[in-house]
Structure formats: structure tokens, C-alpha cells
């Protein structure tokens, strides 16, 4: 006979496995203060943030979070208190930068 605690734990594990993880919404720069958005990028090192209703980007603290063939480009985004807030950097291809391939 299965004990009540073992049955409850088994049921909970089966439920969790069948329902998967719940996705968390991405932080959105338009809903954050400029300092909070910049701090989030700095603390995370690299993070994907929502930048508008249908847009998002991966922001990095420094070039160490880009691939070897990439460099950084300053990123300015709309925030609650600043329409052009410096939040961090975007990784861009070193060899095509400046060739209208943004």
C-alpha cells in the first residue's frame, strides 16, 4: 500500500512533468526606468529585453558577451523616463559593421 505522502509527491511530480514550465514574460524597456534597465543589463551580462510591442533585442554589458567575430555597438532604448536611454550594447559583426548591415 502506498502511503499518502508518497502518493501526493508522485502525483505532484506527474502533474509537473505533464504541464511543463510556465514561460515568464521578458522584461520590457518601455515599462522600466532608465537606470533599472541599464542595471539589469549590467547585472545579467547578457539579456534579451522587449523593446516595443513586437520587438526585442539581446543587450550585453561588454564585448566579452559577444562572439569573437563581433564587436559592440551602443544601444539606446525607450524607457519610462528617457526616450533614448543607454542600456548597454548590442553585438554586431566586426567585418560588416558600417556596410548598412545593422
Q: Is residue 1 part of a domain?
A: no
Closest CA to 92 of 65, 72, 74, 64: 72
Q: Please, which pLDDT band fits residue 22 given cuts at 50, 70 and 90?
A: low
Q: Is residue 97 part of a domain?
A: yes
Place of cell 524597456: 29
Q: Is residue 15 part of a domain?
A: no
What is the total count of domains within the chain?
1
> In the predicted model, is pLDDT for residue 84 greater than 80?
yes
Please give the pLDDT value at position 96.
Answer: 81
Domain span holding position 30: 25-102
Please give the pLDDT value at position 25.
Answer: 85
Backbone angles phi, psi at 40, to 5 degrees: -60, -45
> In the predicted model, is pLDDT for residue 18 greater than 60?
no
CA distance 63 to 89: 8
Count of alpha carbons within 13 angstroms of residue 65, beta-carbon side: 19
Please give the pLDDT value at position 95.
Answer: 87
Q: Is residue 77 part of a domain?
A: yes
Q: Is residue 20 part of a domain?
A: no
> Is the whole model's pTM more than 0.95, yes or no?
no
Query: Containing H/E element for 29?
Result: none
Q: Is residue 80 part of a domain?
A: yes
Q: Is residue 64 part of a domain?
A: yes
Amino acid at each position: 500500500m502506498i502511503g499518502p505522502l508518497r502518493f501526493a509527491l508522485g502525483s505532484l511530480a506527474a502533474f509537473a512533468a505533464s504541464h511543463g514550465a510556465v514561460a515568464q514574460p521578458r522584461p520590457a524597456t518601455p515599462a522600466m526606468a532608465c537606470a533599472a534597465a541599464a542595471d539589469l543589463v549590467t547585472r545579467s551580462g547578457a539579456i534579451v529585453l522587449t523593446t516595443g510591442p513586437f520587438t526585442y533585442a539581446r543587450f550585453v554589458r561588454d564585448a566579452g558577451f559577444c562572439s569573437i567575430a563581433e564587436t559592440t555597438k551602443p544601444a539606446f532604448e525607450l524607457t519610462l523616463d528617457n526616450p533614448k536611454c543607454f542600456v548597454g550594447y548590442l553585438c554586431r559583426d566586426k567585418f560588416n559593421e558600417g556596410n548598412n548591415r545593422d
